Amino acid sequence: MESCLTCVICCINCCSYGVPDIVSSLWCAHDILWGCNLQVEVVTPEDHMGDVIGDLNSRRGMVSEFLDKPGGLKVIRAEVPLSEMFSYVSTLRGMTKGRAQYTMTFEKYDNVPNQIQEKIVADHKVAA
């Protein structure tokens, strides 16, 4: 089962790069697709806080904590799927006029929601 889980985890990371055989490994993991979740920490000026939170929520993020920093800065911590974080740097720079910064670290592997899992499998069937 461990090797199947590894294949399925790779599937999430590779399916957008056109690695079709990995998607087939989904079935050996009892129809459960796993994805990588990241702990994201954004440091932003207070006047951009609402935009940053809204963007994280639109990326299936779960905001967990708000902290204050000197100089009117806010720290926002959230758990966000890796698959939703592509192109985040340009989005963040655009909405904060280059004044925010962020870090991402591995948090855990979690089940991919059913509707997204079904879309990945359907896209694979069309490509195959």
d(CA 96, CA 49): 9
CATH class label, 35-110: alpha beta
Numbered ranges of CATH 3.30.70.240 in the chain: 35-110
pLDDT in tens, the chain (128 residues): 343 444 444 444 444 444 444 455 554 455 678 889 999 999 999 999 999 999 999 999 999 999 999 998 999 999 999 999 999 999 999 999 999 999 999 999 988 888 888 888 888 887 76
Query: Would you say how long the chain is, in residues?
Result: 128
State pTM to two decimals. Answer: 0.71
Phi-psi region of 30 (alpha: psi -120 to 50; beta: other; left: phi over 0): left
The b/e string for 49-72 (b: 16+ C-beta within 10 A; e otherwise) is bebbbebbeebbbebeeeeeeeee
